[in-house]
Chains A and B, each alone.
Chain A
Amino acid sequence: MAALRVPVAGDAASGQAIFESKGACLTCHSVAGHGGNLGPDLGRIGVTRSVKSLRLALVDPDSELDKQYFTVVVTTKADQTIRGVALNEDDLSIQIRDSEGNPRSFLKEGLKSVSREQRSLMPSYAYRLTEAEIGDVVDYLRTLREPSPRIAMRTRQPHRAYSNVAFLDRIGRDAEERPDTLIGALEIPIGATVAEIGSGAGYYTWRLGRAVGPSGKVFAVDVQQAMLDRTRETITKHQLSNIELVLGEESDPHLPSGALELVFIAHAYHEFSNPESIIAAVNQSLKPAGRLVVIEFAEGHAFGPQDKAERMTEEQIRAEIEPAGFDLDRVLDIAPIEHCLIFRSRAEGRPQL
């Protein structure tokens, strides 16, 4: 296994040149409609992977390989072997994309074996590229942030209801939302000051409190005192003393200026009656390059509220947050029922403090 290298600063333009020539990455991957189709399209890789993960994928492609890209080896009864990635499979047949990029189908009755190797068809670039070149390619990959082509405007339906609070403590929520994995993936530094808007029953609040540790601090904001009371019950149960409850207003979350490293909003943004004011206040409360996390039920997924107004598409979230002075930094694909978008405050978009 190739050793991980220390990240070096790179240059996206030279990274693109390496990507397209020396690296020959377009043989298998595509960007903006150009390139091969054996590997995944990389048009959005800059938001779906972290710098660390991109670097790892280049030097050790097998390490974080999605099982979708395991190498499938099909051996026919005539001892012909075809390698590729799986497109689909059932008990009777398997469909693969072969190493030339062609979709092919095999009836299993005509095969001697089907096996999967837990490795990628992608070669490691650990010794094919220099450290500086890998850094450049990573820098280039971070610039790949294609949006989805179309934005359907959402129906705004401001909402504050305590009546459905039981939904927030439902059995099975951990399996549906994987909260510990999600908070872990945010890589919040110990000692950080963060805020949650719409703390509800405290489901994420106490996990944020645990993540920042005793030296850190969490502001838990809600517009309903009844919800804050529920938050208080939860944090008491978890014996956390680093969380301050804040009764916010419809247009003002009452957060300190320039003090926060991260603001977290889960399943609450769609309920805001004045999201523009809230997000402007969030931006003002963040430190330079501070992060905003927005989680919403994914439109179109079978699970979740039936009311469309309680779901948002990724494009709808981006269309409202990005113009308010944020850049999309990452998209976490941890729970299929929801979108988790991480934005970073843009210096030029920040209001004057």
Chain B
Amino acid sequence: MRIRCVLASAAVLAALGWNLSGQGLPVSYERLLKAADEPGNWLMHSHTYNSWRFSSLNQITTANVKNLHMKWLFQGRHIEKFETTPLVVNGVMYLTRPENAIYALDAATGRQMWMYEYRNPPRTFNCCGKVNRGLAILGNTLFMNTLDMHVVAVDARSGHEIWKTQIYDYNEAGGYAAPGAPLVVKDKLIVGMAGGERGVSGFLDAYDTKTGQRLWRFHTIPQPGEPNVGTWAGDSWKTGGVTTWNNGSYDPETNTLFWGTSNPWPDYNDDFRAGDNLYSCSVLALDPDTGKLKWFYQFTPHDLHDWDSTQIPILLDTQFRGENRKALAWANRNGFYYLLDRTTGKFLTAKAFVKQTWAKGFDDNGRPEVIPGNEPTPEGNDRVWPGVDGGANWMSHSYSPLTRLLYVFAREEHRTFSKNAVPHPTTEVTANSAAEPTTVAQANAGAYDPAIGGAITRAVGAPEESWGKVIAIDPGTGDIKWEHRVLTPPWGGVMATAGNLVFGGTLEGMIFALNATTGERLWTFSSNGPVFASPISYTANGKQLVSIPAGDLIVTFGLD
């Protein structure tokens, strides 16, 4: 039944006869709104404003994917790995290479057309590599965030810099950074920031795409006099973290921007920050014209496990208990899949998609009923699931309107959570000072950072306690329809296509295509570069291609 339905839908899509070569520059906002109508192009981070990361191209199918082979490689020639999602406009691929370079490539061959390099100072402060996750485009202009907290506009035809704006002093409070991709909404550029491992104060910004002038700033921690500032004990709000380091989504129908927020700081130590710590670990629904908050939902009140809610919101309409709902689907780092009403923020349902030990359920308002005993401890608490990197992280999920399934590359992981003393957050930040672990557990735990109030922990237990799995979730119920297990918890995202395929890549560099209906693995390629990014699909000369970063390579596949 389902297979017949999928084939019929694919045939309908093919019959519409899109121009497979893709429209060229300039890329108007109207085209961004209808990005789904340009399957030959990839015009924004998640392909469309609803962030489905779904390609309606169907030349590559479950029947012929076995013939897929590598067409070209692009070598980053950089010590850092790619975490970027390239954009493609009319056969030209635009991508960021660490730290903050932009390349324009011929998407058919990978040959370079131009390169722009933004030079950061020698020391910048992104927690997790000198990486960048991609670009936004409007008109003839590309936009990129930088590790030293700038946003730059670059001419997509020449690679010449048009403007450059400082977001914030990257040296403040032990270090801010901007590794995420920005998002264009109307004539504005929405820009997030990172630094939640330090005592920063988070925000989400909008800039004028023409001039680079800042138009609004939403503080993710309420400022004195604003509602909810009381969810922070004392003056802990001043250094509470709550960053916005990934990409967001936009609903033109309700003119709402959705963006996820990170953990409160210090990550593992809550001695100074009693309270829910709003708007940490939340989804924000904002008016993109003004930056005013419409509603929010906090997935993890008073987080103690660094379970950022910086996943990319997925906007879909689905049946929920027999009713059609305009919904927001969210597979969270804390291990639960959530369904919210995206017009009101009302909690509809939540269901664990990986092993979890911290919540026994949710009340009607979606507040979790927390199970005691999951707190980080000085000696190290190894009875907590999911691990610090979560059941999901920043890597993209994908929704197929053909199978009506949400695909998540999930992480089953066993880790230890340890807590140590941190200086009072409003005294001098010691983020960059050397410090020794205070307990044996911390010393054994691996990388140690005094600023986060604990240790960044290695996986514990036997290898079989940690693995990865591509899962297909029924968005209306949270039921898992199928699961495809892989060796290691992943750092790559997935993309579904109208060829009834789901593409992705593992930490060992195995790039794969699964049957979107069954989860059966139909094709693999051993790139041997760890995949820390999400795939895209587009056309060059009318032929469907799939690209995915692996290590410091961009690998591109086609049928012939």
Please list the residues of chain A having a beta carbon within 8 angstroms of any beta carbon in chain B.
Answer: 30, 33, 37, 41, 87-90, 92-93, 95, 97, 101-103, 105, 107, 148-150, 152
Whether the Cβ atoms of B114 and A87 lie closer than 8 Å is yes
Please list 15 pairs of residues, one from A and one from B, whose beta carbons are closer than 8 Å in the complex, sorted by A's number: A30-B158, A33-B160, A33-B162, A33-B163, A37-B160, A88-B112, A90-B109, A95-B106, A101-B158, A103-B113, A103-B114, A103-B157, A105-B113, A107-B108, A150-B121
Known contacts A93-B108, A105-B106; is A41 also within 8 Å of B160 by CB? yes
A99 to chain B, nearest CB (A): 12
Whether the Cβ atoms of B157 and A105 lie closer than 8 Å is no
Q: A33-B163, A95-B111 are in contact. List 9 more A-B contacts (CB 8 A).
A: A37-B158, A93-B111, A95-B112, A95-B113, A103-B92, A103-B114, A105-B92, A105-B111, A152-B122
Find B111's partner among A41, A90, A101 (CB 8 Å cutoff).
Answer: A90
Q: What separation, in Å, do the CA atoms of A95 and B163 have in the docked complex?
A: 26
Chain A residues whose CB sits within 8 angstroms of the CB of B361 once the complex forms? none
A77 to chain B, nearest CB (A): 14
B192 to chain A, nearest CB (A): 24
B357 to chain A, nearest CB (A): 48
B541 at the interface (CB under 8 A from A): yes
Q: What separation, in Å, do the CA atoms of A152 and B164 have in the docked complex?
A: 19
B91 at the interface (CB under 8 A from A): yes
Q: What separation, in Å, do the CA atoms of A51 and B91 have in the docked complex?
A: 41
The 8 A CB mask of B9-27 against A (1 = contact, 0 = none) is 0000000000000001100
Chain B residues whose CB sits within 8 angstroms of the CB of A41 once the complex forms? 160
| CB within 8 Å of A: which B193-217 residues | none
Whether the Cβ atoms of B111 and A102 lie closer than 8 Å is no
Chain A residues whose CB sits within 8 angstroms of the CB of B163 once the complex forms? 33
B78 at the interface (CB under 8 A from A): no
Chain A residues whose CB sits within 8 angstroms of the CB of B92 once the complex forms? 103, 105
Whether the Cβ atoms of A105 and B158 lie closer than 8 Å is no
B48 to chain A, nearest CB (A): 25
Q: What separation, in Å, do the CA atoms of A90 and B113 have in the docked complex?
A: 12
Chain B residues whose CB sits within 8 angstroms of the CB of A105 once the complex forms? 91-92, 106, 108-109, 111, 113
A82 to chain B, nearest CB (A): 14
Please list the residues of chain B having a beta carbon within 8 angstroms of any beta carbon in chain A.
Answer: 24-25, 91-92, 104, 106, 108-109, 111-114, 119, 121-122, 155, 157-158, 160-164, 541
A88 to chain B, nearest CB (A): 5
A-B residue pairs, 9 tightest by C-beta: A37-B158, A105-B106, A103-B113, A87-B113, A93-B109, A150-B119, A88-B111, A95-B113, A33-B162
A281 to chain B, nearest CB (A): 32
- Among B104, B112, B160, the most chain A Cβ lie within 10 Å of the Cβ of B160
Chain B residues whose CB sits within 8 angstroms of the CB of A152 once the complex forms? 119, 121-122
- Among A89, A97, A103, the most chain B Cβ lie within 10 Å of the Cβ of A103
A261 to chain B, nearest CB (A): 36
- Which B residue's beta carbon lies closest to that of A36? B158
Known contacts A33-B162, A33-B163; is A102 also within 8 Å of B109 by CB? no
Chain B residues whose CB sits within 8 angstroms of the CB of A37 once the complex forms? 155, 157-158, 160
Chain A residues whose CB sits within 8 angstroms of the CB of B24 once the complex forms? 102
Whether the Cβ atoms of B25 and A102 lie closer than 8 Å is yes
- Which B residue's beta carbon lies closest to that of A41? B160
A83 to chain B, nearest CB (A): 16
Chain B residues whose CB sits within 8 angstroms of the CB of A93 once the complex forms? 106, 108-109, 111
A108 to chain B, nearest CB (A): 10
A237 to chain B, nearest CB (A): 43
Chain A residues whose CB sits within 8 angstroms of the CB of B158 once the complex forms? 30, 37, 97, 101
B451 to chain A, nearest CB (A): 26
A186 to chain B, nearest CB (A): 30
- Which A residue's beta carbon lies closest to that of B159? A37
Q: What separation, in Å, do the CA atoms of A87 and B119 have in the docked complex?
A: 23
Q: What separation, in Å, do the CA atoms of A87 and B104 have in the docked complex?
A: 11
Chain A residues whose CB sits within 8 angstroms of the CB of B114 once the complex forms? 87, 103
- Which B residue's beta carbon lies closest to that of A102? B157
Q: What separation, in Å, do the CA atoms of A147 and B161 have in the docked complex?
A: 14
- Which A residue's beta carbon lies closest to that of B112? A88
Chain A residues whose CB sits within 8 angstroms of the CB of B113 once the complex forms? 87-88, 95, 97, 103, 105
Known contacts A102-B25, A103-B104, A105-B91; is A30 also within 8 Å of B160 by CB? yes
- Which A residue's beta carbon lies closest to that of B110? A93
Find A33's partner among B104, B121, B157, B161 (CB 8 Å cutoff).
Answer: B161
Chain A residues whose CB sits within 8 angstroms of the CB of B161 once the complex forms? 33
Q: What separation, in Å, do the CA atoms of A152 and B109 have in the docked complex?
A: 35
Whether the Cβ atoms of A92 and B157 lie closer than 8 Å is no
Chain B residues whose CB sits within 8 angstroms of the CB of A87 once the complex forms? 112-114
- Which A residue's beta carbon lies closest to that of B540? A105
Q: What separation, in Å, do the CA atoms of A150 and B121 have in the docked complex?
A: 8
A31 to chain B, nearest CB (A): 10
- Among A92, A93, A105, A149, the most chain B Cβ lie within 10 Å of the Cβ of A105
B228 to chain A, nearest CB (A): 40
- Which B residue's beta carbon lies closest to that of A34? B162
Q: What separation, in Å, do the CA atoms of A266 and B122 have in the docked complex?
A: 27
A177 to chain B, nearest CB (A): 26
Whether the Cβ atoms of A149 and B111 lie closer than 8 Å is no
B447 to chain A, nearest CB (A): 27
Chain B residues whose CB sits within 8 angstroms of the CB of A88 once the complex forms? 106, 111-113
Q: What separation, in Å, do the CA atoms of A149 and B100 have in the docked complex?
A: 14
Chain B residues whose CB sits within 8 angstroms of the CB of A102 once the complex forms? 24-25, 157
Chain B residues whose CB sits within 8 angstroms of the CB of A103 once the complex forms? 92, 104, 113-114, 157
Q: What separation, in Å, do the CA atoms of A183 and B108 have in the docked complex?
A: 46
- Which B residue's beta carbon lies closest to that of A94? B111
Q: What separation, in Å, do the CA atoms of A95 and B104 have in the docked complex?
A: 11
A321 to chain B, nearest CB (A): 21
A167 to chain B, nearest CB (A): 27
Chain A residues whose CB sits within 8 angstroms of the CB of B111 once the complex forms? 88-90, 93, 95, 105
Q: What separation, in Å, do the CA atoms of A105 and B111 have in the docked complex?
A: 9
Q: What separation, in Å, do the CA atoms of A148 and B104 have in the docked complex?
A: 21
B150 to chain A, nearest CB (A): 10
Q: What separation, in Å, do the CA atoms of A229 and B24 have in the docked complex?
A: 66
Q: What separation, in Å, do the CA atoms of A101 and B155 have in the docked complex?
A: 11
A288 to chain B, nearest CB (A): 36
Q: What separation, in Å, do the CA atoms of A105 and B25 have in the docked complex?
A: 15
A202 to chain B, nearest CB (A): 37
Whether the Cβ atoms of A107 and B119 lie closer than 8 Å is no
Q: What separation, in Å, do the CA atoms of A149 and B161 have in the docked complex?
A: 11
Q: What separation, in Å, do the CA atoms of A115 and B161 have in the docked complex?
A: 31
Q: What separation, in Å, do the CA atoms of A87 and B115 have in the docked complex?
A: 10
Whether the Cβ atoms of B109 and A92 lie closer than 8 Å is yes
Find A101's partner among B108, B157, B162 (CB 8 Å cutoff).
Answer: B157
Chain B residues whose CB sits within 8 angstroms of the CB of A149 once the complex forms? 119, 164
Q: What separation, in Å, do the CA atoms of A87 and B113 have in the docked complex?
A: 5
A198 to chain B, nearest CB (A): 28
B88 to chain A, nearest CB (A): 12
B208 to chain A, nearest CB (A): 16
A146 to chain B, nearest CB (A): 11
- Among B108, B122, B157, B162, the most chain A Cβ lie within 10 Å of the Cβ of B157
- Which B residue's beta carbon lies closest to that of A106? B106
Known contacts A33-B160, A87-B113; is A107 also within 8 Å of B541 by CB? yes
Whether the Cβ atoms of A107 and B155 lie closer than 8 Å is no
- Which B residue's beta carbon lies closest to that of A148? B119
B215 to chain A, nearest CB (A): 21
Chain A residues whose CB sits within 8 angstroms of the CB of B162 once the complex forms? 33
Q: What separation, in Å, do the CA atoms of A89 and B158 have in the docked complex?
A: 17
A114 to chain B, nearest CB (A): 14
- Which B residue's beta carbon lies closest to that of A110? B541
Q: What separation, in Å, do the CA atoms of A30 and B541 have in the docked complex?
A: 31
Q: What separation, in Å, do the CA atoms of A152 and B123 have in the docked complex?
A: 11
Chain A residues whose CB sits within 8 angstroms of the CB of B157 once the complex forms? 37, 97, 101-103
B385 to chain A, nearest CB (A): 45
- Among B109, B114, B163, the most chain A Cβ lie within 10 Å of the Cβ of B109
Chain A residues whose CB sits within 8 angstroms of the CB of B119 once the complex forms? 148-150, 152
A205 to chain B, nearest CB (A): 36
Chain A residues whose CB sits within 8 angstroms of the CB of B160 once the complex forms? 30, 33, 37, 41
